[in-house]
Chains A and B, each alone.
Chain A
Amino acid sequence: MKKYLAVIKTEWQRQMTYRINQFTFRIGNIFEILVQILIWTAIFQKTSNIGGYNYREMITYIIIGWLLSFLMANFGFEDIISNHIQKGELSNFLSKPIDYINYLIFLSIGRASFTIGVALLFNLLLLFFFRNSFIVSKDIFMWLILLAMILVGYFIKLFLSILIGFISFWTVDNAGVFYSINTLAKFLSGNYFPINILPAVFLNFSLALPFIYTFYFPAQLYLGKISIRQGLVGLGLEIVWLAILYFAIRVVWKMGLRKYESVGI
């Protein structure tokens, strides 16, 4: 256990070395959120209700959704794994008494905890500017379930990234695959817009997949559009997905190692 805490510590130090990178990334994020807010603000000039959302609900959906997705983000973790595999750096881990998957989990915690801190700061700033359009929830049960969903959601996203990163065992240049999968996942999670403004089939399809529990579902819960009971069912489904993904990672890892050629020399 101590060795994995050391991984977190080392990663914090690494992150602090590159603080400008951190800072500029977050500025980009803010722009992305602002663009979404602008679009919806423009649309709501003509109408007061879209797919059951009024303006304040939509803005709240966007801000809380992004807040949630920052809390669960692993910031392109699949690239790190892909690099390890493609450049043969994975060998460093295979020859040492450390479990690579556990290493990845702790590395991501070290990496995310630092970044999330910075991202939260920026988001609170945004929240301050849009405080008049933001709905504040006071339901304590909702908050408890939301916290649990954030925690589980973080690992769901992480495990998905690890699984995607492991593709690199089989194919070399994966930027395209990563991009497409991530865009699809973003859509299915409701990151671009609330998924229920589309025909119901999309929502039903998404509910069976893990992505939705990292954005749309908790945001809806926050807005009170999903009951506490439904929220608990969602949390349960999320945990099932977490277990499935963890199992999948272990299986794919074993298969991948058989393919691993430790190239680069």
Chain B
Amino acid sequence: MAIIEVKNLSKTYEYYKKQPGLWASMKGLFHREKLYKEAVKEINFSIEEGELVGFLGPNGAGKTTTLKMLSGILYPTSGEAKVLGHIPWKREPKYQKQFALVMGQKNQLWWDLPAMESFILNKEIYEVSDTDFKKNMDELVELLDIKDILDIQVRKLSLGQRMKCELVAALLHKPKVLFLDEPTIGLDVVAQKNIRDFIKDYNRKNKTTILLTSHYMEDVKELCKRVIIIEEGKIGYDGDLASLIEKYAPYKVLKITFEGEGVKEADISKFGEVHQFTPNSITLRVPREKAKNVARDILSSNLPVDDILIDEVDISDVVRKIFSNGK
């Protein structure tokens, strides 16, 4: 049975047109033109228990809006959704106790108090028993290595430390479903990796169903087997990350380094599309099925090859390509 089921879900925002300038503002006092923005248009998908799905798309594509509808924060304009058998926007406490939403750009922790106080408040809000609280707390504190910062005012924490605390606050009640909206935004590479590793571990151990949005392809590559790509409110792709690459990138990349003087671009361009060129190292794009042959040809030519590597196209390039096609 699917844990998350979304059917023809749409959300339209209303807003008013505002022409630039003072005169237009004055006219706007009496007459305003109402406009509509369809943030999410009739999307459909379903997610099974324990899946960790990446929800990708450019800014303003409708990712966060979808997560907010699934969290019951926003009412949809039309369509249906069920998470754990509940309609999210009915906001039944029974449902609310089983999921959590973490937004990388917002905090739910009490800014003026040490994180521990927010955890205690969340314990009461989610009606977590003392024993469970202690057990979950110990586990999370250990996993995220935040023992030393529990008693420091949240406002004085670094972004990375704060994000770890946000995750603890969200996971104390052991949610079955977790919505992560850009959990690694603004973090340095080390902190990003820590959070990423934690999410991966947590998903594996607890079988938590996770829907994650991120603009960092590293996150997606590391964490998600399946991705859903949303562009301008519509789903553009839903499936394996691996087949996404095959479908949208019908070629592979050859990275070749040369010894000594190197090569001239003219000598190498007959083998395929040159992507990056310096005399000593080049990147070549060749059709997927020809990759092996081309590599062999290059090796058996009289070019001063030092090393050759056949690689998949970078996922971020693929996603970038998909996004720019939509425009």
Q: How many A-B residue pairs have CB under 8 A?
A: 76
Bound-complex Cα distance A88 to B99 (A) = 19
Bound-complex Cα distance A18 to B101 (A) = 30
Query: Which stretch of B122-130, B131-139, B201-209, B270-278 is in the interface?
Result: B122-130
Nearest A residue to B181 via CB reads: A265
| A265 contact from B64, B75, B110, B112, Cβ within 8 A | B64
Q: A91–B106 contact, CB under 8 A?
A: yes
Q: A95–B125 contact, CB under 8 A?
A: no
Q: A10–B121 contact, CB under 8 A?
A: yes
Residues of A within 8 A of B126 (CB): 96-97
Contact with A along B86-113 (1 / 0, CB 8 A): 0000010100110111010110101011
Q: How many residues of B contact A (CB 8 A)?
A: 34
Nearest A residue to B98 via CB reads: A97
The A241-262 residues at the B interface (CB cut-off 8 A) are 257-258, 260-262
Q: In the complex, which of the residues A7, A89, A92, A260 has the most CB atoms of chain B within 10 Å of its own CB atom?
A: A92
Residues of A within 8 A of B106 (CB): 88-89, 91-92, 264-265
| A2 contact from B91, B122, B124, Cβ within 8 A | B124
Bound-complex Cα distance A14 to B121 (A) = 13
Bound-complex Cα distance A17 to B117 (A) = 13
B303 in the interface (beta carbon within 8 A): no
Nearest A residue to B92 via CB reads: A97
Q: How far apart are A264's CB and chain B's nearest CB, in angstroms?
A: 7
Nearest B residue to A261 via CB reads: B13
| A262 contact from B68, B91, B97, B125, Cβ within 8 A | B68
Residues of A within 8 A of B73 (CB): 91, 94-95, 260, 262
Residues of B within 8 A of A2 (CB): 124, 127
B242 in the interface (beta carbon within 8 A): no
Residues of B within 8 A of A5 (CB): 124
Residues of B within 8 A of A262 (CB): 68, 73-74
Bound-complex Cα distance A3 to B41 (A) = 38
B71 in the interface (beta carbon within 8 A): yes
B72 in the interface (beta carbon within 8 A): yes
| B93 contact from A97, A258, A260, Cβ within 8 A | A97
Bound-complex Cα distance A265 to B91 (A) = 21
Bound-complex Cα distance A91 to B97 (A) = 15
Q: A91–B68 contact, CB under 8 A?
A: yes
Nearest B residue to A87 via CB reads: B106
Closest 10 CB pairs of A and B: A6-B124, A97-B93, A3-B124, A97-B96, A95-B71, A92-B108, A91-B73, A94-B73, A3-B125, A95-B101
B interface vs A, CB < 8 Å? 13, 64, 68, 71-75, 91, 93, 96-97, 99-101, 103, 105-106, 108, 110, 112-113, 117-118, 120-127, 153, 181
